[in-house]
Amino acid sequence: MSTTTRVQTSSSELNDPAALRLSGGQSLPPRSRRPKEGSGRRDGGVLVYLAALIVVALTLGPVLYAVLGGFRSNAQLAADPAGLPDPWVLDNYRRVITGSTFWTYAVNSLAIAVITTVVTVVAGLMAAYPLARYQFRWREPLFMVFVVGLLFPATVAIIPLFILVTRDLSMGNTWWGVALPQAAFALPMTIVILRPFLMAIPREMEEAAIMDGASRMQFFWRVLLPLSAPGAITVGVLAFVGSWNAYLLPLLLLRGDMKTLPLGVADFSSQYSSDTAGVFAFTTLAMVPALIFFLAMQKRIVNGLQGAVKG
């Protein structure tokens, strides 16, 4: 077994561009390696692709089933739960799209997620700045406050939070009443991720800016903010998706027309539990925005996390 593998690798080594890269290929952009090696290294071959196929099927299966289920009628679903739409029924999706509840919930979700994201990123960046680049006695203790905040699950505070928002602040059933607590619980992670970004900017750059007559504020606006954009985008996306997907806090705080999409999906599912096709259509439409948004931002998230984990 081990001998065969060794033979395989040593033979593939000859036409492996990775080995050749040492001699002349170094100046090539890294991307050009990928397609070549895709054909060059096929140790594993069919098995690797088979494994990948299984992973894809298991991962996407339930999601695709829900999407397709929305195109079927309940009769079709009952007669053959594992079948394909035949004929394709558009009525379920049409009912959701032409109904007002879905859009009301979607607007609420969007508004709350946007407020959460803006508050989180602005407050997070501002706080991370002195924590990263000022020298003062309380710097590390102050940072620790937020680090410890990572350990506070929102669940622990949910009952007092509910009372605080609804009674003391009279912000129950409002966008801000949900967005501000969500921003608060997103802040620790935001600051923990952003601080290394701001710290990594060389001190010389700051000195040069100060020499040129910039105040710390100007340095913050003109130099730090642009340079920390990758980190800011990462935490922004995380805050947005977190808020968009949140359930517990909206569940306690929002009623009626103020509900968000996850609440709407849960409601729809329990109200019309026998209308499986309708549930699938509603659920599918509710998952589309977050999926598109996250997948568009995915590369940035991975890059941002890498910067933060490297630490």
| Pair 213, 94: CB distance under 8 Å | no
Which of 113, 115, 131, 281 is in the footprint of other proteins by CB under 8 A? Answer: 131
**Residue 208 engages other proteins in binding (rule: CB under 8 A):** yes
What's the min distance (Å) between Cβ of 145 and other proteins? Answer: 8
Q: Which of 256, 259, 261, 251 is nearest to 293 (CA)?
A: 261
| Pair 253, 45: CB distance under 8 Å | no
Q: In whole angstroms, what is the distance from residue 311 CA to residue 309 CA?
A: 5
| Pair 234, 300: CB distance under 8 Å | yes
What's the min distance (Å) between Cβ of 115 and other proteins? Answer: 12
Which of 215, 255, 271, 272 is in the footprint of other proteins by CB under 8 A? Answer: 215
What's the min distance (Å) between Cβ of 174 and other proteins? Answer: 14
* Single-letter residue type at 27: S
Please give the full DSSP string across 283-303, using - where no structure is assigned. Answer: HHHHHHHHHHHHHHHHHHHHH
Estimate to the nearest angstrom the gap between the alpha carbon of 10 and the chain centroid.
Answer: 41
Contacting other proteins within 94-113 (CB under 8 A)? none
Contacting other proteins within 25-84 (CB under 8 A)? 34, 37-38, 40-41, 43-44, 48-49, 51-52, 55-56, 58-60, 62-63, 65-66, 69, 77-78, 80-82
| Pair 195, 144: CB distance under 8 Å | no
What's the min distance (Å) between Cβ of 285 and other proteins? Answer: 10
Which residue intervals of 134-246 are DSSP H helices? 139-149, 158-163, 175-199, 203-211, 216-219, 225-227, 229-245
Q: Which is nearer to other proteins, 78 or 97 (CB)?
A: 78
DSSP state of 17: H
Which of 29, 87, 141, 153 is in the footprint of other proteins by CB under 8 A? Answer: 153
Q: Which is nearer to other proteins, 107 or 123 (CB)?
A: 123
Contacting other proteins within 267-306 (CB under 8 A)? 269, 276, 279-280, 283, 286-287, 290-291, 294-295, 298, 301-302, 305-306
